[in-house]
Amino acid sequence: MTGLRKRLSEEKGFSLMPRAMAISSSSCKLPLVAVCQVTSTPDKQQNFKTCAELVREAARLGACLAFLPEAFDFIARDPAETLHLSEPLGGKLLEEYTQLARECGLWLSLGGFHERGQDWEQTQKIYNCHVLLNSKGAVVATYRKTHLCDVEIPGQGPMCESNSTMPGPSLESPVSTPAGKIGLAVCYDIRFPELSLALAQAGAEILTYPSAFGSVTGPAHWEVLLRARAIETQCYVVAAAQCGRHHEKRASYGHSMVVDPWGTVVARCPEGPGLCLARIDLNYLRQLRQHLPVFQHRRPDLYGNLGHPLS
């Protein structure tokens, strides 16, 4: 251990060891979060059954909040099927999740719901909507994905999310939860640091990137981007991911994880559907920000505000 890491460890007993490795009576009092990894298909009821089993297991293990990935509700074969299977927020599927949150007594981050919005009749397009439910099943926040994934990656196949999806009009202010203040994002948003900086400046302590990364971009960029967002914002980053083959046309990378504000991966899902757990230590986060006050050192006079604070 050398340089800054050594100095911070010696000052005031501050430790930069990964939080997940610190097992003590005090650490057991820290809020526990669960990150769920699934393989969604076009079968919405089977997908709900799988997610519900993981959420119930998370509750049994003592988690206060469970994170589900983008497209937890379904992954369709084509845009037409996506539109056909989509529902409004007041539909049957979200009602099942509100009941699940109440039953289990924990918060749910539903990382990317195919939402028929109020403009459905006019646009015939949907929103990729990140829904946050509290332990009573109430919707406390919704964020509609602002950056749509229209890309052509050799070896991974083209993706044109805008064929069926409208971009969201705004960011959502961070929300207070039992684990800390959460900033909401979805998948492709991770490539835009302006969003994470804006959420951090608005008070976020946890950034969440529910995703369905592909088999080419996943190995190359997934962990690197997650750790970069954690380091530059000094936030925890929680990333629930799709994994495996959804149908004959699509597969996802998986590797769901939690990264602490130092950039250390403190929890990671194994291959296949399942979950991993991590404790959120906000005192550690505050100490790190105190010792390494990067937001106080920013120079907007030179390069502008890369992420404008939210109003």
Please pick, among 187, 235, 243, 276, the residue that the annotation labels catalytic. Answer: 187
Catalytic site includes residue 70: yes
Measured in Å, how far apart are the chain's first and last C-alpha atoms? 41
Amino acid symbol at 121 = E
Catalytic site includes residue 145: yes
Please pick, among 104, 145, 172, 269, the residue that the annotation labels catalytic. Answer: 145
Q: Which structure tokens are listed for 7?
A: 């100095």
Give the separation between CA 72 and CA 93, rounded to whole angstroms: 11
Give the separation between CA 99 and CA 118, rounded to whole angstroms: 23
Catalytic site includes residue 136: no
Strands (E) in 116-249, as ranges, are 127-133, 139-144, 150-153, 157-160, 175-177, 180-184, 206-208, 236-239, 243-247
Please pick, among 36, 51, 64, 70, the residue that the annotation labels catalytic. Answer: 70
C-alpha distances in Å from residue 259, one per residue of 37, 55, 157, 237, 268: 16, 21, 29, 5, 9
The residues with which 204 forms a beta bridge, in sequence order, are none
3-state secondary structure of 290: helix
Task: Specify the DSSP class assigned to residue 308.
Answer: P
Residues tagged active-site = 70, 145, 187
